[in-house]
Structures are given as C-alpha cells and as structure tokens.
Amino acid sequence: MFLELDLKSSIPVYIQLRNEIVRGIGSGELAFGEQLPTVRSLAADLSVNSMTVSKAYQLLDSQGYIHTDRRRGTVVCARGEMPDFLENPDSKRELVLLAREAALGGYTREEFLKLCSDAYIELV
Amino acid sequence: MFLELDLKSSIPVYIQLRNEIVRGIGSGELAFGEQLPTVRSLAADLSVNSMTVSKAYQLLDSQGYIHTDRRRGTVVCARGEMPDFLENPDSKRELVLLAREAALGGYTREEFLKLCSDAYIELV
Amino acid sequence: MFLELDLKSSIPVYIQLRNEIVRGIGSGELAFGEQLPTVRSLAADLSVNSMTVSKAYQLLDSQGYIHTDRRRGTVVCARGEMPDFLENPDSKRELVLLAREAALGGYTREEFLKLCSDAYIELV
Amino acid sequence: MFLELDLKSSIPVYIQLRNEIVRGIGSGELAFGEQLPTVRSLAADLSVNSMTVSKAYQLLDSQGYIHTDRRRGTVVCARGEMPDFLENPDSKRELVLLAREAALGGYTREEFLKLCSDAYIELV
DNA sequence: GTGGTCTAGACCACC
DNA sequence: GTGGTCTAGACCACG
C-alpha cells in the first residue's frame, strides 16, 4: 500500500488520506476508472477508524475525484472528469501564500519556479 | 485594515491571521521593521479576542517573521532575518499536492508555471 | 501524582509543568511511549485550568518530548526520539551561569563537578 | 562595554543584566570591590530604562553580589563575601533539569561532565 | 471522549 | 500601557 499516513501530524487523518489518494491518481499509482478498496478493508489495512476512510471518500466524491458506481463500488473518475481544483479560490490563496513565503525566504522567481516545475514534473 | 478573516472558515482564526500577516509582509503592506498594532488594538479592530491575536503573534514570532522588542512592542523582522519557510517539508508536500491537482485539472506545465509566476509576481 | 507545582512562583505554571514532566521522563517516573493523562483529568488533578495543561503539552510537543497520537491521546516519545535540548544556546548559557555562580560561591571545579554528577546520577 | 543584552529575548532585561554582571564578576571583567557605573549612566550606555538597571542592581544587592557604599556608590562585594548561590534550591533544581535534558538528549555522564567542566573552566 | 479553539474578563510582570 | 498568564466555561473537529 503506497498510502502513507502520519498519525502524529496535526493534519487530520482523513485530509491526509484524501491528499494521498489525489497524489496516487496524479502519479499513476491509481488508474483512472480503477476500483478503490472498500471502506472497511482500507481502514483495516491502514489501522484507522473506518469513519475516517469514509470521510475521505466522501470528500473526494464531493470534489469530483472519485464516484460511487452501483455495481463496482467506489471508483476513480475518468481522466476527463477530473475537477479543476485550482479554480477553487482557497487553492489560489494557498499558492499565493507559498509564493510569498518563498520570496521572503530569499528565493528568486526563477528558483521558486524551478521548485514548482519539479513538483509538477513528478507527475506522469 | 487590509487583514481579512473568515470567522466561518474551518481554518482557525489565529492561523488565518498569521497567513494574512505573512501575505502583508510579502506584498509590502507591512514594511520590514515596521511596528505592528498592539494585541489589544488589533483584537478590537478585528472583533476577535485578544488571546487569538496573541496566539497569531506568538506563532509568527516562533517562525521568525516578527519579534517582540520589550521597548517597542511587536515589530516585523528585518528583510534579512526572514525565515526560509519552504525548507519545511510540509510546504514542499503542499506544493507537490497543488501541482498534482493542477495536472489532474488539465493544466499543462506551462499553464501551471504561469499561475505560480503570477502568484510570485504580486510580491514587491 | 509526582508533579509538584508552585502556584505562587513567578515561573509560569505551564513552564513548571513542562519542567516537571521532563524531569519525570528523565527519572523514569514516566516511561518512554507511556500515555499521559488527558488534558482535562490532569487539570482537575492539579487544580489548574485545562488550557494551562494544554499549553504545557503543546510546548513539550513542539520540543519533541511528547506527541499527540490522534488515536491514543498524548504519549511520551520513544527513547530514540528525545530532543537534544542542550544544543539550545540558552541551555549552554544557563550552564555557564551556574558554573560561574558556583565558582564565585567558593566551589572548586571538583566540587562543582560532583554536584553535576549527582544531578545526572539520579537519572535511570 | 562587555554587557550584552538581547532585547528580543523572552528573558526579562533586568534578569539578563543581573546574569551578565555575575558573569562579568566571575570572568574577572569586573574586579572584586570595583565600583559599578551609576544607574543612570549604565542605563544610557545600554539604551534601557533606568528602572531596569535599578531593578538589576537591587536584585544583585539582595543576592549579595554587590552592595551600596555610602561614599563610593555601588561596588562589587569582596571575594570572600560572594554568596553561595547553589545552596539555593531553585539552582539545584535547575541543575537537575539540565542534567536530565542532557541525559534524554543522549549525552553520557562523561560527555555531560565535560560540558560542565568547560563551563567552569572559562572562569578565572 | 479527546484535544483544539475561542471568548470575556482578570491579574501581573515588565518597561 | 504593553504583552503574558490564567480562569471558567463554551463549542467544535476529530476519531
């Protein structure tokens, strides 16, 4: 299982799980249309409460990354159905904040864009 | 006052305030070395409890953005004293996550880097 | 409960509590990995406000002595995860100050080192 | 002037000043019986409020490091009059705390005693 | 049930 | 007058 959680982190587990799954889709570890484990089995695998997994799935569903298929359970959405998360104003604010922290930290624009590019290039 | 808070957000107010102040320093609305409002006056302006403001100030202090000089109150640190927040692994993970959300949302690398550049270019 | 607080001291209660817990870990009264009392129960035991306990726990967390596992509550970190607090320059200055006070007080180096050794030997 | 204050520190200025003067006596920069600057002149030199200097002098006086001579103003006590500060239970507790932080930080007794010895050896 | 957050208001140490 | 500390009590997010 490629999903890594840090139970000591201040970030809620269900958010970490949501993020890990988005990363997994982005990196190809989870294919478009692929079936996800059931809530119970994933909860058992990760040793977390099944409500936590359920909340992560609900969040991903509401954001449009996954959906529930009556016959096949929970599946990753198709490539073309992926949401445009950066249209979310909160994401924009987050990006601006990171950029300003970078600038204050002494990064030139080129250095910052290099970091951004590296972050992107890790995707398939 | 340029500081905008959303009291209904799930993000704690003191974190929002910390972020707003970092943005303010990055955009030049708060100058390096400038004196910040007192805890009480800012609390009154924002209609929040003074302990909430105090918590934000203490967080910013621990991160190296501001410091409290016993004679002059709370002031923004000098340009050269600003912390490198992107050395924080969580910030890197956040950037990678944003990049993957962008990629899944259909942005090409060039488009994503344009967004990053725009976020940076707003700085002084 | 082995934790002793002096509510009349000028040292803030949450700092005293932090120090007592570090002493407790060092002396074995608190085992590595052991679960600490909940914020509320400890506050009730010590007859202090729960926010005071919470502040002490957060300080210990930030220093790496304990951490809060969302499932198991607050626990002492493992032996190998303990922080090197003497790398803190303030600790070094404190030690130098104690040494000078000792010298001025008439202690020879041997006598002073005996005191230091005794202080250390109380540890497990 | 060898007295160094950090106005950004969380340690009160008058305590820092007291500590610096004790260090100065211990290291020989201030001789036994030497006359100290007046409150006003020292306050001006250090750019601090004269009440701060006054408080430091009062504290040092109450601890027996300095005393006020009607004719010569404030002077450092004689060698033989220096107080035994380590008989103070708070100092003992402080030393125990440092020793435990050292032990938890991975220092062996020998390593810790080396630090203590180095701290002492800097004295005249 | 846990810790985290927030409020309103008080007191104190410091400068 | 400043920030720091503490209280009593409330609400909420998390698991």
Task: Summarize pLDDT for C26-56 with one digit per residue, the tens.
Answer: 988 999 999 999 999 999 999 999 999 999 9
Averaged confidence pLDDT in chain C? 91
Same-domain check for residues A32 and A62: yes
Neighbours of B117 (CB within 10 A): 15
Chain C: closest CA distance from residue A23 (Å):
23
Contact yes or no for C68 and A13 at CB 8 A: no
Could you tell me the distance in Å between the CA of residue C39 and the C1' of nucleotide E1? 12
**B101 pLDDT above the threshold of 50:** yes
Q: For C76, phi and psi rounded to 5 degrees?
A: -70, 140
Same-domain check for residues B21 and B35: yes
Same-domain check for residues A103 and A76: no
Neighbours of C95 (CB within 10 A): 23
Position with higher pLDDT, D123 vs B64? B64
Closest nucleotide to residue B49 (Cα to C1')?
E7
- Give the Cα separation of D92 and A94 in Å (integer): 49
pLDDT value at position A124? 46
Chain B residues lying within 8 Å of D49, measured CB to CB: 71
Look up residue B64 and give its amino acid.
G
Same-domain check for residues C92 and C109: yes
- Best of A5, A6, A7, A49 to substitute, by most chain C Cβ atoms within 10 angstroms, is A7
Q: D36 lies in which domain range?
A: 13-81
Chain C: closest CA distance from residue D41 (Å):
25
Question: Tell me, what CATH number does B34's domain have?
Answer: 1.10.10.10
Chain D residues lying within 8 Å of B62, measured CB to CB: none
Nearest alpha-carbon partner for A21 in B108, B109, B101: B101
Nearest alpha-carbon partner for C95 in C115, C75, C78, C81: C115
pLDDT value at position C42? 94
Measured over the CA atoms of residue D51, residue D56, residue D62 and residue D66, the dihedral's sign is: negative
Name which of C91, C101, C103 is nearest D98 (Cβ-Cβ): C91
pLDDT value at position D40? 93
Is residue C63 in a domain? yes
C58-110: pLDDT as tens digits = 999 999 999 998 888 899 999 999 999 888 888 999 999 999 999 999 999 99
Helix ranges (H only) for chain C are 13-27, 39-46, 50-63, 89-104, 109-121
CB contact set of C103 (below 8 Å; sequence gap of 6+): C112, D26, D120, D123
C-to-D residue pairs, Cβ atoms closer than 8 angstroms: 134
Same-domain check for residues C51 and C94: no
D42-76: pLDDT as tens digits = 999 999 999 999 999 999 999 999 998 888 899 99
Nearest alpha-carbon partner for C65 in C34, C110, C41, C42: C34
B36-51: pLDDT as tens digits = 999 999 999 999 999 9
Same-domain check for residues D42 and D17: yes
> What residues in chain C have their Cβ under 8 A from chain D's Cβ atoms?
19, 22-23, 25-27, 65, 82-87, 91-107, 109, 112-113, 115-117, 119-123
A30-63: pLDDT as tens digits = 999 999 999 999 999 999 999 999 999 999 999 9
